[in-house]
Chain A
Amino acid sequence: MSPDLAADGNEKAGHFATTRWSLILRYGESSAEEGKASEALAELCRIYWRPIFAYLWRSTSSPEDAKDLTQEFFLRIMQGKFLQHADPGRGRFRSLLLRSLQNFLRDHHDRDKSQRRGGEMTFISWDQWMAEAPSQLSVPASIVETWSPERVFDVRWAATVAERALRRLQEECEGQGRRHVFDVLGGALTSERDQVSYERMGRELGADSAKIKRLLHKLRLRYRQLLREEVAETVEKSEDINEELRYLVASLAAGATDRVEPT
């Protein structure tokens, strides 16, 4: 990810920075900001192409169709049809995007097949994306088969958020010439204290356990921060961050059943 993509928002002192989604929601209030909003939308779409693609693949059972449809969906969004529904107070980017996606697919089914297939449209480049930000999840194939398109969308969304924050953390470590620290400690961000061998990590990094413990603590806090920033980009108000995270965590639990998010 190039640095200019990274949001510079922070929540310090109760100030909720202008995030992409809040910018988009204000679209229309001022035509001067229209360009900015549309740019922000394009950026968000590029970030969250995977959930959209996954949803379409699961719905159409054909990766080829899903690719074409993904491109087509993005173009439709960028033509402004999506933003008409994006009124302030109308919720989060994720849920709106999913609703649009559902509508899009419904419309698409109704339309004559000969009309679709814009093979020329390339809003996102898969190759480039997968090279820039490869994603390697472990997902149980047998369970995935039972997931609805909406569930696939949510899981892929959650993974995108978690992975993006991780990638940013990695880049920050790399920026300090400490990529190796990330490689060694990155797997312990979620582990409870008693599951972590500070000694082993210390040996690998040439530092004592106490130092490793402190560093890991800092990394965890920083990861938390980055995560919140990622989520903030997709919600309107800072109060929504926790709720969005809660929703995503719930969607990942093994026992979670497919459900419709209350609006």
Chain B
Amino acid sequence: MDFYGLTDSPVTLVGSANECPECHGVSRVANGSCIGCLLYTGMKEGEEVTADELGSALQLLPLTDYRWRLGNYEIMEEIGRGGMGVIYRARQRHSRRIVALKRILSHYADSRDTLIRFRREAEAAASLDHPNVLPIYEVGESDEGVPYFSMKFAPGGSLQVVGPALRGKPREIVRLMAKVTRAVQYAHEHGILHRDLKPGNILLDAQDEPLVSDFGLAKWLDASSDLTRTLTVFGTPGYIAPEQAEGPAANLTAAADIYSLGAILFDLLASRPPFLGDNAISVVRQAAENPAPRLRSLVTWADRDLETICARCLERDPASRYSSAGALADDFEHWLDNRPIVARPVSPPVRLWRWSRRNRALTAAGLGCILLAITAVLWQVHGNRLETSLRANQLASRSVTVLPFLNLDTVHADEATTLAVARTLQTNLSRLGPARVSPQIEGASRWPDTGYLEDISKENHNLKSRTVLTGSTRLVNGKLHLSVRLMTAGNGEIIFARSFQSNPRPNAIPALVASITSPISSLLNATDWPSISRTEKDPGLKDPAARDLIVSGRQLMFRDTIQDYDRSISCLEKAIDLEPNSALAHAYLSSTEASRAHFSPDPEILKKAEKEAETALRLDPDSREVLRTLAGVLYLRGRLKEALEGQLRAIEVGGPEEQVAGFRGMVLLRAGRPTEALPWLEMASHWASSPGAYESLIGDCWSFLVEDQRAQAAYMQAMNLRPERFDGWVGLCHLKLLQGDMGGARQLYAKYSPRTVGANLPGNDNSPQELLAQIEFFSRNYDTALELYTQLARDEPRGGVSSYGAMSYSSALGRLRQVTGDRAADLFLKEELTRATEFFQGSENPADAYVLAALEASLGQANRALDYLQLAVSLGWLDYRSLQLDPRFDTIAREPRFREIISVLINKVTGLKRSAGQSANLATNGD
């Protein structure tokens, strides 16, 4: 009840939207009639009509209600209907008690087996006795043998109806969910999974106590659409766990119910389930393929802990969710008591917005790209169904589709290798039994072999193979480097991976393939692939306590606050205490430490991160997670070459997925290799889960190459695809700046900055504020620039190094204090120089050398400045336009060496442009 008991199940109307046009009353009864008007009919003149007279009038209509009894019950009205069942309000004959009665439709009740199963499951559900489980009174069968069960009639409606009235009352929502979750826990303890938790299955009694209904009975009552039935799924899109959408029901665990509880909580808080779509298929697909949206991306005022709880429940990997409904209920209760929740082990953090401003994209692309073990497990689910259908066919089971190998040097399909591998493998396998190897070259996309599910399942649909073989080639010091991966078709789970090196002679490939024939053959005969998959192997995922710590640690690392990094570090260290041999824990720890060091420069922690990455690598040298982490840490350490090599290893081991491709593109760009960066960024863009995420980096590539029109097009594309983000227009604006058109840059800034919601939020290396400061600085509006950089540096004293033009705040500030007559400026610059020299020691990142050059130049150390500049150029600095405009270099701008450096850069860019023109053509033709 709500609204002071005015109504049993409130349907709120906002304002007086539903005012009656006749009497202006605002209250209506269930069928929509205005109460005032109903009463008014009583005041009208009119003849008196008795019940009998009405009866005679009614009898004139030919239509009669279908009235019937079911066992001991009189059916009063139908109140719900699902695919296989129907629900009535009914009255028990002798007690006159009103009940809800559910029965399965007779055409589903035609086999004896079905009836027995229904009865057994209904009786199991009836055995549950818990204050928040809707009691089942009786399980019975009508005279015609139609099975039914009766249960308490809950007059308060379901959460589906009442949910909107709870909006904005998180405490009430959590109090209610805590009870629901305890009820689910109780059922789990009695061996019963619900399988279809959703708002409509949570009823409210007159005291507004939640009552969970239909435990384990979902499939009898609510297989509501054809889609779900063909998938043999029972559940409701929007609330069912992704594994439920594909896997056989028998494999479900408590984690599926926990997912649904999270989805309900999400729905109550956000007024919509986590995934929406035009139809059930698209909802189910989204849940299977995408991470759930963060609660606070929809409800900005929502509590962070509740967001964390939702996210934990909605993890795609069942193993990453709460370990039990009890654990979730504990967290709800902790939250209600204002105690720290367990999903986040330490007290709630105070979010320091200033940390979030910095370089989020880099962290996200570089460190955050660590592929979560989860994807693999999810894929496995997809594969189950397929596998079953294929198991019967022996030839099909020994069948391999060979997808195009990727040439990592050119980032194109290597057809010759693909065919050679396929041919050799067919010959070799046939000696060991029936086998079918089908190369798939025709219609290969420009980026084959991505390991993406879509690709693999599409190919598989055509070829009906059980496995997919693919790999990559590259030349290393004149030697051919060949890597192969064998994956299960349909889910992309890697079950075998190996790399070889050989002199590039004609029979090199057959020789290499011969050496893997035998292991591949035995794998083709194996049936227990899930146990082979490597993600399952990490000891840290086996021990529940360690797994919880690893999952919590990983979640915390993406929050980008120092406190959360520290908490993440503490979780992961504890996990390592429990499972010292968990490569995953070491890799995540390394990643967190590196991020922390990146946000708040600390060489010691960075070194520690490096050590952890090496430990992880020692424990599991072939893990893509580990290799990617290592690459991220190396990048942050400024060891770009090793980082790039690490990325290639990660691709060889695990395939080129979006994030690793995008990360590689970014590192290549930073290393002054925009032409090489482009194909990787385009590949990442092609596969981007968030379209438009890589377009501004592509724009930066073109901008480095002084291809301004192309750059402009890419930035515009970024704006179109992600209008809420600022990276596109900031790029556009920066382009104007590089062209020396400060007025134009200012105009664009004025035009777009107000349109960008949350421009203060992280999203890119280059924030609008940084850009504005740079425009004013480069326009020589020193006073304004000084003010802007002072603000920026107040929040992040060490910021700005990776922004456009390597405008580190402190170097800009030093120069600005100098030119505005601050006597302490030189001292400040010297201190910064000392600090930066130490921090950038040995870095291969051209931006770092460039910042040192700027500091030296400001201090009037022309030779040292030019040496550093030369170093920056040799490391890959390309942006000569910025260099020409940058006031930090005003003191050395007339030096002949400076002019020489500029002309070297112009020549270099021209040379690169030529090759870029070629790949641009390829890009146009290849799609």
Interface string of B5-28 (1 = CB under 8 A from A): 111111111111111001111111
Q: Is A131 an interface residue (CB 8 A)?
A: yes
Q: Is the CB of A249 within 8 A of B40?
A: yes
Interface residues of B in 129-180 (CB under 8 A from A): 153, 155-157, 165
B77 within 8 A of A: yes
Give Cα A34 to B883, complex, Å.
104
The CA of A57 and the CA of B23, in the complex, are separated in Å by: 27
Residue in contact with B10 in the complex, picked from A132, A139, A165, A224, CB distance below 8 Å: A139
Complex alpha-carbon distance, A218 and B56, angstroms: 10
Q: Of A72-80, A84-92, A151-159, which binds chain B? A: A151-159
Residue of A nearest to B28 (CB): A138
Q: Does A142 contact B (CB under 8 A)?
A: yes
Which of A54, A172, A228, A252 lies in contact with B42, CB distance below 8 A? A228
Q: Contacts of B98 on A, CB cut-off 8 Å?
A: 128, 131-132
The answer to whether residues A144 and B32 also contact, given A175-B55, A249-B43 and a CB cut-off of 8 A, is no
> Smallest CB–CB gap between A246 and chain B, Å?
7
Which A residues are in CB contact (< 8 Å) with B77? 179
Count residues on chain B whose CB falls below 8 Å from chain A CBs.
72
Q: Are A138 and B27 in contact (CB under 8 A)?
A: yes
Q: A190-B34, A214-B57 are in contact. Are A221 and B46 (CB under 8 A)?
A: yes
Verify A181–B30 contact, CB threshold 8 A.
Answer: no
A179 in contact with B35 (CB, 8 Å): no
Contact of A163 among B5, B9, B29 (CB under 8 A): B29
**B49 to A222, Cβ gap below 8 A?**
yes
- Whether B155 contacts A130 by the Cβ 8 Å rule is yes
Which residue of chain A has its CB nearest to the CB of B208?
Answer: A63
* Cβ of B31 under 8 Å from chain A: yes
Which residue of B is nearest A142, CB measured? B15
Residue from B42, B48, B165 within 8 A of A12 (CB atoms): B48
B515 neighbours in A (Cβ, 8 Å)? none
Which of B23, B60, B157 is the one whose CB lies under 8 Å from A215? Answer: B60
Contact of B8 among A12, A130, A206 (CB under 8 A): A130
Contact of B53 among A161, A218, A248 (CB under 8 A): A218
| Given known A53-B5, A166-B38, A190-B34, contact A11–B155 (CB-CB < 8 A) | no
**Docked-complex contact A215 and B57, CB < 8 angstroms:** yes
Which residues of the partner chain B approach A186 to less than 8 Å between Cβ atoms?
A: 31, 33
**Number of A-B residue pairs having CB atoms within 8 Å of each other in the complex:** 241
B522 contacts the other chain (CB 8 A): no
Closest to A219 in B: B54
A215 touches B58 (CB 8 A): yes
Residue B431 interfacial (CB < 8 Å): no
A231 CB-CB contact with B under 8 Å: yes
Q: Is the CB of B43 within 8 A of A141?
A: no
Smallest Cβ-Cβ distance to B31: which chain A residue? A187
For window 162-195 of A, CB contacts with B under 8 Å fall at 162-163, 165-166, 172-181, 186-187, 189-190, 192
Interface status of A20 (Cβ within 8 A of chain B): no
Chain A: minimal CB distance from B458 (Å): 48
Q: Is B65 an interface residue (CB 8 A)?
A: yes
Q: Tell me whether B6 and A162 are in contact (CB under 8 A).
A: no
Instruction: Place the interface of chain A in its size category.
Output: 35 or more
| Smallest CB separation, B142 vs chain A (Å) | 20
In the complex, the chain A residue whose C-beta lies closest to that of B64 is A177
In the assembled complex, which residues on chain B have CB atoms less than 8 Å from the CB atom of A135?
A: 7-8, 29-30
Give B380 Cβ to nearest chain A Cβ, in Å.
Answer: 46
Q: What is the CB-to-nearest-CB distance from B79 to chain A, in angstroms, rounded to a whole number?
A: 10
Q: Does A254 contact B (CB under 8 A)?
A: yes
Cα A60 to Cα B651 in complex, Å, equals: 67
Decide yes or no: A172 and B51 within 8 Å by CB, A159-B29, A190-B33, A224-B42 being known contacts.
yes
**With A136-B8, A176-B58 given, is the CB distance from A221 to B38 under 8 Å?**
no
Question: Is B207 within 8 A of A245, CB to CB?
Answer: no
Q: Give the residue of A134, A175, A190, A218 whose beta carbon is less than 8 angstroms from that of B49.
A: A218
Complex CA–CA separation, A246 to B84 (angstroms): 49
CA distance A57 to B4 in the complex (A): 5
A255 at interface, CB cutoff 8 A: yes
Instruction: For the complex formed, measure the closest distance between the CB of A68 and the CB atoms of chain B, giving whole angstroms.
Output: 12
Contacting pair B62 A155 (CB below 8 A): no
B350 at the interface (CB under 8 A from A): no
- B interface footprint on A205-221 (CB within 8 Å = 1, 0 otherwise): 11100010011001111
Contact with B along A224-241 (1 / 0, CB 8 A): 110110010000000001
Q: Is B508 an interface residue (CB 8 A)?
A: no
Find out whether the CB atom of A139 lies under 8 angstroms from the CB atom of B27: yes
- In angstroms, Cα B315 to Cα A225, docked, is 60
Q: Are A190 and B10 in contact (CB under 8 A)?
A: no
What separation, in Å, do the CA atoms of A10 and B1 have in the docked complex?
34
Query: How far is the CB of A228 from the nearest CB of chain B, in Å?
Result: 5
A162 touches B35 (CB 8 A): yes
User: Do A189 and B54 have beta carbons less than 8 Å apart?
Assistant: no
Chain A residues positioned under 8 Å from B34 (CB to CB) = 190
Please encode chain A, from 42 to 56, with 1 for each CB lying within 8 Å of some chain B CB and 0 for all others: 000000001001100
Chain A neighbourhood of B18, CB < 8 A: 138, 140
Most-contacted residue by chain A among B28, B37, B42, B207 (CB, 10 A): B42
Q: How far is the CB of A96 from chain B (nearest CB, A)?
A: 20
For A227, give its contact among B6, B42, B53 (CB under 8 Å): B42
Find chain A residues with CB under 8 A from B22 CB. Answer: 190, 192
Determine the chain A residues whose CB is within 8 A of the CB of B27 once the complex forms: 137-139, 155, 158-159, 252
A1 to B34 alpha-carbon distance, docked (Å): 22
Q: Are B5 and A156 in contact (CB under 8 A)?
A: yes
Cβ of B41 within 8 Å of any chain A Cβ, yes or no, is yes
Measured between beta carbons, the chain B residues less than 8 angstroms from A165 are 38, 42
B24 A137 Cβ-Cβ under 8 A = no
B30 touches A178 (CB 8 A): no
* Contacting pair B35 A144 (CB below 8 A): no
- Give the Cβ gap from A245 to chain B, nearest Cβ, in Å: 5
Q: Who on chain A is nearest to B18 by CB?
A: A138
**Nearest CB in chain B: distance from A46 CB, A:** 15
Bound complex: CA A40 to CA B61 (Å): 38
Cross-interface CB contact of A136 among B11, B55, B207, cutoff 8 Å: B11
Using A178-B63, A218-B57 as known contacts, say yes or no to A54 and B6 having CB atoms under 8 A apart.
yes
Interface residues of A in 239-263 (CB under 8 A from B): 241-242, 245-246, 248-249, 252-255
Any B CB within 8 A of the CB of A29: no
Query: Which of the residues B10, B36, B37, B60 comes within 8 Å of A141, measured between beta carbons?
Result: B10
Name the residue on A nearest B12 (C-beta): A141
Q: Which B residues are CB-close (under 8 A) to A152? A: 4, 6
**Which of A138, A155, A163 has the largest count of B CB atoms less than 10 A from its CB?**
A138
5 closest cross-chain pairs (CB), A and B? A130-B155, A227-B42, A190-B37, A126-B206, A252-B36
20 A-B contacts, Cβ less than 8 Å apart?
Answer: A57-B5, A126-B206, A127-B205, A135-B29, A137-B7, A138-B11, A139-B7, A178-B64, A179-B77, A189-B33, A190-B34, A211-B60, A218-B53, A219-B54, A220-B46, A221-B48, A221-B49, A223-B38, A228-B42, A254-B26
B-binding residues in A (CB < 8 A): 2, 10-12, 50, 53-54, 57-58, 63, 66, 126-132, 134-144, 152, 155-156, 158-159, 161-163, 165-166, 172-181, 186-187, 189-190, 192, 205-207, 211, 214-215, 218-225, 227-228, 231, 241-242, 245-246, 248-249, 252-255
Q: Give me 20 other A-B pairs in contact (C-beta within 8 A), A10-B48, A135-B7, A152-B6 excluded.
A: A127-B155, A128-B98, A140-B16, A155-B6, A156-B5, A158-B39, A161-B39, A166-B29, A166-B33, A172-B54, A174-B65, A176-B55, A176-B59, A178-B61, A178-B65, A224-B41, A246-B43, A249-B39, A249-B40, A252-B39
